Structure 1
């Protein structure tokens, strides 16, 4: 199984499984994805219309990681439940910080 986090030029990619229209906003742990890669399961109360659920996911993660929302973007799967988020910043520092965060899930 591949990890849910991988380094990229200028940041890291995080693989996410979204659950819109949930009863609460929460990071629910890890789950295997369809492509033999682990994904972070995130539930949000927002509806999956006009990018509202994506914005809620970005807001939730930005708050958890204490980084600006502008440094997180959806680079693949904008209208799908399986998404790839890009977190801009120094790759090594982000890999360490987010790997520690993932270890606590």
Structure 2
């Protein structure tokens, strides 16, 4: 993959770069994808509609449930109204979780 990895460390937290597809038939983390700019992102499908913050809340809930971390540890820091979002995740086990995702989905750790 070219460009940056789909996540990077930021102090005690991790920034996670996500591409959301709202109004999907199911909620699912699809894996790592590369966008048109050559940047790696975690592809996520959500049933929620992108209005009144519903998709953002669904995204946080899905990540929290899938990775067994509290919702309070996850914050949408950019892209509130866009498909491409950046999440800040402050949790002790997040680095291991993301390494596992990268290895399983062919992602990059650079």
TM over 0.5: yes
- The structure 1 segments of at least 4 consecutive aligned residues displaced by more than 4 Å after TM superposition are none
Paired position in structure 2 for 1:95 = 95
Equivalent runs, 1:33-44 vs 2, <5 Å: 33-44=35-46
Paired position in structure 2 for 1:51 = 53
Shift of 1:96: 2.5
Contact 1:4 1:38 in 2 (8 A): yes
Equivalent runs, 1:1-105 vs 2, <5 Å: 1=2, 2-90=4-92, 93-105=93-105
Take 2:59 and 2:103, find their aligned partners in 1: how far apart are those partners? 19
TM-score by length of 2: 0.86
Runs (5+) with no aligned partner, structure 2: 106-110
Take 1:102 and 1:57, find their aligned partners in 2: how far apart are those partners? 19
TM-score by length of 1: 0.90
C-alpha RMSD of matched pairs (Å): 1.3
Contact 2:69 2:91 in 1 (8 A): no
Contact 1:30 1:41 in 2 (8 A): yes
Shift of 1:34: 3.8
- 2:19 match: secondary structure: strand
Contact 1:17 1:82 in 2 (8 A): yes
